[in-house]
C-alpha cells in the first residue's frame, strides 16, 4: 500500500488534494455528486468581513487552455458563513477545512481571521493577499514584501490556527515576498493565485469581461506555478500548498517534486466537477508507475 498522507503544520490529510477557493463553493454543492470526505481538505469560497455582491457580469471568459474570471469575491460575509454555511457543510464533511479569507484593509483581515479562527471546523486559515489595499492607493497587499508582512503579522496576532498566506504571481520577485511572510510568522505559503489576463470580443470590439481584465487560470499556467513553487521552496522553511493549472495525478507529483507538501485544484473543478475525485483515485496508480511508495519522500525531490 502506498502512503498518500501529508502533514500541513500538524494537520494530517489523507491525501494532498484540496479543491481551491472559489471553485468548490462551500462544499455541500459537490457533496450531492460524490462523498467529498475522500478529499484531503478543501478551501471554501473566499470570505470577507461584509457581504459582497461581486463584480458586474459577464464575469467569465474562455481562453485557450484556461479561463479568465472576475467574480469579485461574491460571498455572504463572515457572520453568515459562520451561522449558515459552516453548519450546512458539517452535515456532509467531517474533516477540518481551509478557510480562505480576504480583506481590503488590515482591520478587515484582522476582524475576519479572528472570527473564523474560533470555528472548530477550520483547520487552516488561508489569507488571500491579492486584494486591493483601500488605504494604500489600491495596490494589492501581495505586491510588496512589506505589505505582505504587515498582513501576516496582524493576522498572526489574533489567531491560533496555522496561517497560510496565498501569494499573487503578478509580481517581479515572489521569493522575497514569501520570505517576508515567513519572517513575519506565516505557518505556510499557498501559491500561486491567478495571473492577470484579458479577452476582447471581435464583434463588439470590447473586453469580454465587464471588469475588463480578470484572473487567468487553467492548465496553461501550470509551468509558471511549478517554477514559482520551485524557487520559493529553496528560500523558505515552511510548507507550501502548490496550485495553478493542476488537473491530473501526474501534475500533483510534479508540483510536489517542485516543493509543495499539498496541492489545490481550481479551474479543473469548473470543467469537470469530478476532477478532484478522479485525481485522488488515480494518485496511487501514478505513484506506482513512478516507483513512489510515500508522497512525503518526494516533497522537494527535484532540488
| Residue positions annotated with a catalytic role | 131
CA 132, CA 142: separation in Å to the nearest integer?
9
Question: Would strands 262-265 and 17-19 be described as parallel, antiparallel, or unpaired?
Answer: parallel
Name the nearest CA neighbour of 263 among 290, 226, 291, 292: 226
CA distance 126 to 166: 6
**Would you state the cell numbers that stand for residue 41, as one nine-digit string?**
481538505
Q: Which residues of 54-86 are buried (b: 16+ CB within 10 A; e: fewer)?
A: ebeeebebebeebbbbbbbbebbebeebbeebb
**Residue 49: DSSP 8-state:** S
171 Cβ neighbours under 8 A, 6+ residues apart: 142, 143, 177
Amino acid at each position: 500500500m502506498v502512503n498518500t498522507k501529508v502533514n500541513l503544520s500538524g494537520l494530517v490529510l489523507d491525501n494532498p488534494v484540496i479543491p481551491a477557493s472559489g471553485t468548490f463553493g462551500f462544499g455541500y454543492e459537490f457533496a450531492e455528486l460524490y462523498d467529498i470526505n475522500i478529499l484531503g481538505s478543501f478551501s471554501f469560497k473566499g470570505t470577507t468581513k461584509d457581504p459582497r455582491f461581486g463584480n458586474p457580469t459577464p464575469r467569465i471568459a474562455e481562453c485557450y487552455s484556461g479561463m479568465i474570471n472576475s467574480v469579485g469575491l461574491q460571498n455572504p460575509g463572515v457572520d453568515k458563513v459562520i451561522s449558515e454555511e459552516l453548519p450546512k457543510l458539517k452535515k456532509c464533511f467531517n474533516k477540518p477545512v481551509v478557510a480562505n479569507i480576504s480583506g481590503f484593509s488590515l482591520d478587515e483581515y484582522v476582524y475576519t481571521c479572528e472570527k473564523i479562527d474560533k470555528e472548530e471546523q477550520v483547520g487552516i486559515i488561508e489569507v488571500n493577499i491579492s486584494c486591493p489595499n483601500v488605504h494604500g492607493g489600491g495596490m494589492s497587499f501581495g505586491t510588496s514584501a512589506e505589505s505582505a508582512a504587515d498582513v501576516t503579522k496582524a493576522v498572526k496576532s489574533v489567531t491560533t490556527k496555522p496561517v497560510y498566506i496565498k501569494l499573487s504571481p503578478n509580481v517581479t520577485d515572489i521569493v522575497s515576498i514569501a520570505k517576508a511572510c515567513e519572517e513575519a510568522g506565516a505557518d505556510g505559503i499557498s501559491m500561486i493565485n491567478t495571473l492577470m489576463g484579458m479577452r476582447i470580443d471581435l464583434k463588439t470590439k470590447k473586453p469580454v469581461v465587464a471588469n475588463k481584465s480578470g484572473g487567468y487560470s487553467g492548465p496553461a499556467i501550470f509551468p509558471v506555478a511549478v517554477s514559482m513553487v520551485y524557487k520559493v521552496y529553496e528560500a523558505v522553511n515552511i510548507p507550501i500548498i502548490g496550485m495553478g493549472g493542476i488537473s491530473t495525478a501526474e501534475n500533483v507529483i510534479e508540483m510536489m517534486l517542485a516543493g509543495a507538501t499539498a496541492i489545490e485544484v481550481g479551474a479543473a473543478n469548473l470543467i469537470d466537477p469530478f476532477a478532484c475525485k478522479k485525481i485522488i483515485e488515480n494518485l496511487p496508480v501514478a505513484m506506482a508507475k513512478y516507483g513512489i511508495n510515500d508522497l512525503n519522500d518526494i516533497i522537494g525531490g527535484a532540488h
